[in-house]
Amino acid sequence: MNCRALIDKLNEQKSLSHIEWCSLISGHDGEDREYAAKLARDIADKMFGKKIYLRGLIEFSNICKNDCLYCGIRCSNQNASRYRLSEDEILTCCAEGHRLGFRTFVLQSGEDGYWNDGRMTELVKEIKTRYPDCAVTLSMGERSRESYEALFRGGADRYLLRHETADKDHYCRLHPENMSFDNRMRCLRDLKDIGFQTGCGMMTGSPFQTAEALAKDMEFICGFKPAMVGLGPFVPHNDTPFAGYRAGSVELTLFMLSLVRITLPDVLLPATTALGTVDPLGREKGIMAGANVLMPNLSPSDVRKKYMLYDNKICTGDEAAQCIECLKRRVLTIGYEIVTDRGDHRNYISKSI
């Protein structure tokens, strides 16, 4: 079957066989990508209209006990200048974000032991008390089921934990020996089971990635049915073992975004900062390929350069307000509009309104 027929089949059946995924991902050309992007964009327009949801990203600590080979804030990077925002600083970011129209706060960090269940739950409760009209998304890595339950009871609505790759051997080549694919998958299952709107995701073009690994990612996404998928290109960081590897391509990232949209029509799908880093118009192109979410940075300006997951990360010099204005303009030029809305996944009832 040619690639166009496979894309049509995916659109009709919302899944493909392993062999079909492999041949679509390894065999497509520019025209197939355009075909998939148009289909994906039409689906997103049907689901969400011309609306783009915003999430305010607060990078609240770059202290991390893990040593993921691709990541700039891995614990063995001695050149990373470490920081941890205080509770008050985080609440100040939320205040500014709320004033600017954000109704989702994404709290992202390395795996920093300071943020135990007690402290984190208190923080989430405080944010939800002050801003009951807002959703809180957490993205702070692997924790126990009990810990996720405590955070959920504290009021957190969503949790992002990219699976990174659904191929176990590939996973082992991206992570140190003390991290396991099985635990990552256990976390994702627990999160979804507890009731979080759960996000998984992967990088495109990460070292040792094959078309088969990406096929497994798509099969995993088909089965797991996440509420959100975080998907951006791998971008090398100079102080990591992967410094010498090339970044993932814009084209492959856009194609994968389109395939995710076609597979899960109602999924919340950001056009990522990494995509905007490898191409100045990456985020606009991401939207045109099926994305419907943007995640501008709400972190205080003085820490932004320290949350360097990869080299040349964009928007590290601007104020939050500037980021929003810039994104509003960018989105308007392609015929879309940024909305002030929690933007929950339609299968989940909002916990606070």
Q: Which residues bind ligand SAH (CB under 6 A)?
A: 70-71, 108, 110-111, 139-141, 161-162, 164, 203, 232, 234-235, 237, 274, 309-310
**Distance between alpha carbon 334 and the CA centroid of its chain, in Å?**
22
Q: Which is closer to ligand SAH, CB of 7 or CB of 289?
A: 289
Helical ranges in the chain per DSSP H: 3-13, 18-27, 30-48, 87-100, 117-130, 145-153, 168-174, 181-194, 211-224, 250-263, 273-278, 282-288, 301-304, 320-333
Minimum CB–partner distance for residue 282 and ligand SAH (Å): 12
> Is the Cβ of residue 27 or residue 280 nearer to ligand SAH in the bound state?
280
Shortest distance, CB of residue 310 to ligand SAH, whole angstroms? 4
Q: What are phi and psi of 63, to 5 degrees?
A: -85, 130
Rounded least distance, CB 206 to ligand SAH, Å: 8
In the complex, minimum distance from the CB of residue 162 to ligand SAH, in angstroms, rounded to a whole number: 4
Closest separation in Å from C-beta 132 to ligand SAH: 26
Identity of the residue, 7 or 73, whose beta carbon is nearer to ligand SAH in the bound complex? 73
Output the DSSP codes for 256-324: HHHHHHHHSTT-B-B--HHHHHHSTTHHHHHHHTT--EE--B-S-HHHHTT--SSTT-SSSSS-HHHHH
DSSP secondary structure letters along 25-43: HHH--HHHHHHHHHHHHHH
Query: Measured from the CB atom, is 19 or 178 closer to ligand SAH?
Result: 178
Tokens of 217: 């990612």
The nearest distance, CB 232 to ligand SAH, in angstroms, is 6
Closer CB to ligand SAH, residue 9 or residue 162?
Answer: 162
| φ, ψ for residue 200, nearest 5 deg | -115, -170
> Cβ of residue 184: shortest distance to ligand SAH, in angstroms?
9
Dihedral of alpha carbons 182, 207, 292, 29, sign: negative
| Cβ-based nearer residue to ligand SAH, 15 or 238 | 238
CA distances from 42 to 54, 70, 104, 291, 331 (A): 20, 34, 25, 11, 17
State both tokens at 148: 């996720």
Using the minimum distance from each CB to ligand SAH, give the nearer residue, 43 or 156. 156
- Which residues are paired to 178 by β-bridges? none
CB atoms within 10 A of CB 322: 13
- CA dist., res. 195 & res. 211, Å (int): 32
Residue 308 beta carbon to ligand SAH: minimum distance, rounded to whole angstroms: 9
Task: Compare residues 42 and 239 and give the one whose CB is closer to ligand SAH.
Answer: 239
Nearer to ligand SAH, 3 or 308 (CB): 308
- Answer for the pair 154, 352: CB distance below 8 angstroms, yes or no: no
268 near 48, Cβ under 8 Å? no
Q: Which is nearer to ligand SAH, 102 or 171 (CB)?
A: 171
Report, in Å, the least distance between residue 272 CB and ligand SAH. 8
Least distance (Å) from ligand SAH to the CB of residue 115? 11
